[in-house]
Amino acid sequence: MFEMRQHQTFSRGVLALDGGSTDRLVVRVGCELAKPQKAELFAVHVLEVDWTHDLSDVIPGSAERASAVLDVAEAIAERARVPLKTQLLQARDVGAALVDEASALDADIMIIGLPYRMRLGGEFAIGRTVRYVLQNAPMAVYVVRDPMPVQHEGQRAQDAQHASEPARTAPAGAAARHT
């Protein structure tokens, strides 16, 4: 799948799963890194609970979706012949819950996924959970990102042309207009 020249040595890793497009990649990367070292892996899925519910409330449909997320992770790890423990948490903030749980588990590494998405205006979006984990996790953090979406040739040529054009600036004192 991928080749790393130097593997991070670790004995316990947390795989942060959100039910999104990167979950399978997170589990595969985690299994590839853990297998040669016989490291323990924990797949952690956090259900974010808003302030209208108590943290102990059962949110309709959430347990089934969360179980499906963890079942997929278990199946991938089983095929890779890597033992995997799963944990389901409910919390107000996903990033804080991931960091707290990884710390409580004494994890050496956390692997988290980042879907490829752009904000309005074309700026790459990292999101608040990944940002929080990168800023606050005491252990090593690996971020795995979805590949860039494939663009058709016309869009790629248009983007390349736009990128090669010199930036246009308004004369001093002129107000910038967005159309």
pLDDT tens-digit series, residues 92-110: 899 999 999 999 999 999 9
Residues near 126 by Cβ (< 8 Å), separated by ≥ 6? 114
Q: What is the mean pLDDT of the chain?
A: 80
What pLDDT, on a 0 to 100 scale, did the predictor assign at position 179? 33
Angle between helices 23-34 and 62-79 (to 10 degrees): 40
- Order of strands across the sheet that contains 12-17: 85-91, 40-48, 12-17, 109-114, 140-145
- Quickly state the pLDDT bin for 164 (edges 50, 70, 90): very low
Domain 12-144, classified CATH 3.40.50.620, yes or no: yes
Rg (CA), the chain: 20
pTM of the model: 0.75
* pLDDT of 7 higher than 60: no
Domain ranges of the chain: 12-144
Angle between helices 128-136 and 94-104 (to 10 degrees): 30
What pLDDT, on a 0 to 100 scale, did the predictor assign at position 157? 44
Yes or no: say if 74 and 43 are a contact pair by the CB < 8 Å rule. yes
Yes or no: say if 57 and 84 are a contact pair by the CB < 8 Å rule. no
pLDDT in tens, 119-142: 666 666 788 999 999 999 999 999
What pLDDT, on a 0 to 100 scale, did the predictor assign at position 112? 97
Yes or no: say if 31 and 41 are a contact pair by the CB < 8 Å rule. yes
pLDDT in tens, 37-79: 999 999 999 987 767 667 676 666 677 888 899 999 999 999 9
Q: Which of 10, 30, 11 is nearest to 112 (CA)?
A: 30
Residue-wise DSSP of 97-154:
HHHHHHHHTT-SEEEEEE---B-TTS-B---HHHHHHHHH-SSEEEEEEPPPPPPPHH
With pLDDT > 90 as the criterion, what percentage of the chain qualifies? 51
